[in-house]
Amino acid sequence: MNTSTAPVRVHSRSLPVLALLALAMTGFICIMTETLPAGLLPQIGSGLGISPSLAGQMVTAYALGSLVAAIPLTLATRGWRRRRVLLMTIIGFLVFNSITALSSNYALTLVARFMAGMSAGLAWSLLAGYARRMVAGHQQGQAMALAMVGTPIALSLGVPLGTWLGTWLGWRSVFWIMSAMTVVLIVWVLAKVPDFPGQATHERMPLRNVFFTRGVRPVLATVIAWMLAHNILYTYIAPFVAQAGLLESLDVVLLTFGLAALAGIWVTGRLVDRHLRSSVLVSLATFGLVSVLFGAFATVPQIVYAGVAIWGLTFGGAATLLQTALADTAGEGADAALSMNVVAWNGAIAGAGVLGGVLLNNFGARSFPWALVLLSLVALAIAWRARRHGFAPGARAAAAPHIGH
């Protein structure tokens, strides 16, 4: 029996909900730690004696940490017991969020943010595989959907709440609250999350072999195209909705997106194990159609709200669908492949910021939908062609017999 892909599992028919929610809480802290400064730039700038634009580099430093660290840290820790690695990432958030809360030195703050990003890079490459190993093969899609639920909750509810608390209590207090949450999470993980062995030396696939495994590159290419499209619109949602006179209602627009994304995660959890391929294709095709709608009716508030809701529904399950497809395709190299996913995902976020800025400066927000249409079609074409390897038809448990056996 392979110790890395067939560990002792929970044999109950029900999902290990508390253990999976601990992973979801880890994802929630990752997203909250990353995005909190964006809503508190004036307060942070005032507290550190810097401009808001310099304060914004706290987000950049975090993203760079994730990009730089995801692959090497994942490879370096493949042989470690899984709960030890998970706790290491959580303790990283505790330490570096606490330093951020205490620091009055801008350079030290940036270093702390970079190191927190490194923790996040390792965490994101770990969570999906960890969730899969807790359950039987036919439950893996549902388990991943539950483990990923922290992301839309953080984006839809956590960030606005953090911004409000930062305005009320001060930005440093919010980072202290994040540190307190990580202490609770450490106890939670120790009490409820099962431990699994790492990979033995002879089981570890070289990174190059993982990358050239058939199907891995099409899935990663789909990630890049889809996330570029999504993040162009999400990053520059304010100027886009301003066309419909909704700038003052931006919080409601984002809440609409977040709630729809939560619904999307629930729907995906029901479909992913039997209909992964069709779920990916339908999500991308629907997002493309919504983008056309945005292009034609960007000034109509009702259309924008409806489109945002549908967009959120199609995006909510994206992480579950893409990571499931990647892990199934990579097999023994799943952890390394998922670390590549972290790089692809964060690279797309950074690229969307640049590409969206170029579009906004040269053509205005009205150009966004047509860029989204093009990128959606590219992602759809790649996923469609990856029928044999990457996004195979049929029940995914049958397509991935190495999982759980």
Domains delineated in the chain: 17-203 (1.20.1250.20), 207-398 (1.20.1250.20)
Which residues have CB under 8 Å from 138's CB, separation 6+?
273, 397
Q: How much of the chain is in helix, strand and coil states, percent to nearest 5?
A: 80, 0, 20
pTM of the model: 0.79
* Contact in structure between 164 and 48 (CB atoms under 8 Å): no
DSSP per position, 294-320: HHHSTT-HHHHHHHHHHHHHHHHTHHH
Instruction: Write out the chain's pLDDT in tens, 405 residues.
Output: 233 333 434 444 688 999 999 999 999 999 899 888 877 877 888 899 988 778 878 888 898 898 888 889 988 898 899 999 999 999 999 999 999 999 999 999 999 999 999 999 999 888 888 988 898 877 887 888 888 888 878 876 777 788 788 888 989 999 999 999 999 999 999 999 999 987 766 566 787 888 888 999 999 999 999 999 998 998 788 889 999 999 888 878 888 888 898 899 889 888 888 899 999 999 999 999 999 999 999 999 999 999 999 999 999 889 889 988 998 898 878 878 888 988 898 888 878 878 888 898 899 999 999 999 999 999 999 999 998 888 988 776 544 433 333
Report the residue count for the chain.
Answer: 405
* Contact in structure between 44 and 170 (CB atoms under 8 Å): no
